Amino acid sequence: MSNTTSVARRPRIALTLGDPAGVGPELAAKLLARPQTLASAEVYILADASEVAAAARVAGVSIPISDTPKVGYAVVLDDGTAPAVPIETKKVSLEAGARVKHQLHRALALANSGDVDAIVFAPLNKTSLHLAGMHEEDELRWFAKELGHTGVTSELNVLPGLFTARVTSHIPISEVAAKIKTPAVVAAIQLLDGVLKDSGLASPRLAVCALNPHAGENGNFGREEIDEIAPGVVAAQELGIDASGPFPSDTVFLAAKRGDFDGVVTMYHDQGQIAMKLIGFDSGVTIQGGLPVVIATPAHGTAFDIVGKGIADLGATAHAFDLAVEIASRRLPVTA
């Protein structure tokens, strides 16, 4: 997708290094060493200079740094809070989770004050975040709470050419069916349609998954498709959205992969995530959908097994950054 809108300035991106015990710092350093990263946006690194230097050494790269924003350089917003003793790598810890939360709080403060247009964060570790006091079901709900946002949200997963949203997310499978209700289905469809348009697609084509095997087999395997999902699809169509379904989830991604659809709405976490990671694990991105600020991250985790080896694949992190820039750019005021 190309951005043809003329804007007054480059988007401003707050970048955090992710969990210091994982591959996040290495990936952030590799991202910053990529010339198009610092050409496409003003990048503000939320870390101390010592942490940035250490990340660059692991990645084996040089990061262009400036005290003021200019093309080809990043700005380090060093607040002097790096731990005196470096956080141990390859392990979950309260200290690692607390460091992540500190920088994410700073990023959200910049977004709230209008000083950045988007946030990109390198991979996090949910266990470390939980130890540090993040008890929401996922980062999306934590972001929503911190931003005071009470509207519809959904974690969106993205590959080049294919977006997914889900009606339920990080909840037990035993609770999913009870939460598949028509208003929730419509909200997920609307959110996905809006984000696709935000990313530059004028008329997104959306598929909606069934919940039950064989799309319920006309009620033989459950009535959610008849009572809740199909009415949600119809309601979305009446809003002018190009949505269709519900389709059996074991075949809908085959159609999406060959280009029949631009987005798929799934009913629960693994229904979409397994397919997306099989299609393109190294390029998958998570967008915190529905929030008032663009927030993106690679869809993979902290990869403790390869920390310090300098071999972490930049693909998903670069895709997350580029997508955040694309969406943020489209939200900027246009020039005459």
Confidence of residue 108 (pLDDT cuts 50, 70, 90): very high
Q: What is the pLDDT of residue 3?
A: 47
Alpha carbon separation from 263 to 32, 207, 246, 256 (Å, rounded):
30, 6, 13, 7
Summarised one tens digit per residue, pLDDT across range 240-288 is: 999 999 999 999 999 999 999 999 999 999 999 999 989 987 788 999 8
Q: What is the pLDDT of residue 154?
A: 80
Statement: residue 334 has pLDDT above 80: no
What is the pLDDT averaged over residues 27-41? 97
Of 271, 230, 238, whose CA–CA distance to 253 is shortest? 271
334 or 244, greater pLDDT: 244
In the chain the domains, ranked by start, together with CATH numbers, are 1-149+291-336 (3.40.718.10), 152-285 (3.40.718.10)
Distance CA 199, CA 325 (A): 10
Statement: residue 313 has pLDDT above 90: yes
Q: What is the pLDDT of residue 151?
A: 84
Exposure string of 102-111, with b = 16+ CB inside 10 Å and e = fewer, is: ebbebbbebb
Statement: residue 302 has pLDDT above 50: yes
The residue type at 292: P
Distance CA 282, CA 276 (A): 10
What is the rounded end-to-end Cα distance, in angstroms, of the chain? Answer: 23
Q: What is the pLDDT of residue 280?
A: 84
Statement: residue 185 has pLDDT above 50: yes
Distance CA 45, CA 106 (A): 11
Statement: residue 2 has pLDDT above 80: no
Statement: residue 73 has pLDDT above 80: yes
Q: By mean pLDDT, which of 10-14, 95-99, 272-276 is the weakest?
A: 272-276
Mean pLDDT of the chain: 93
Summarised one tens digit per residue, pLDDT across range 126-135 is: 999 999 999 8
Statement: residue 1 has pLDDT above 90: no
Rg (CA), the chain: 20
Confidence of residue 189 (pLDDT cuts 50, 70, 90): very high
For the beta carbon of residue 220, count every other beta carbon within 10 angstroms: 10
Q: What is the pLDDT of residue 5?
A: 45
What is the pLDDT averaged over residues 98-118? 97
Confidence of residue 140 (pLDDT cuts 50, 70, 90): confident
Confidence of residue 9 (pLDDT cuts 50, 70, 90): confident
Q: What percent of the chain has pLDDT over 70?
A: 97
Contact 316, 122 (CB under 8 A): no
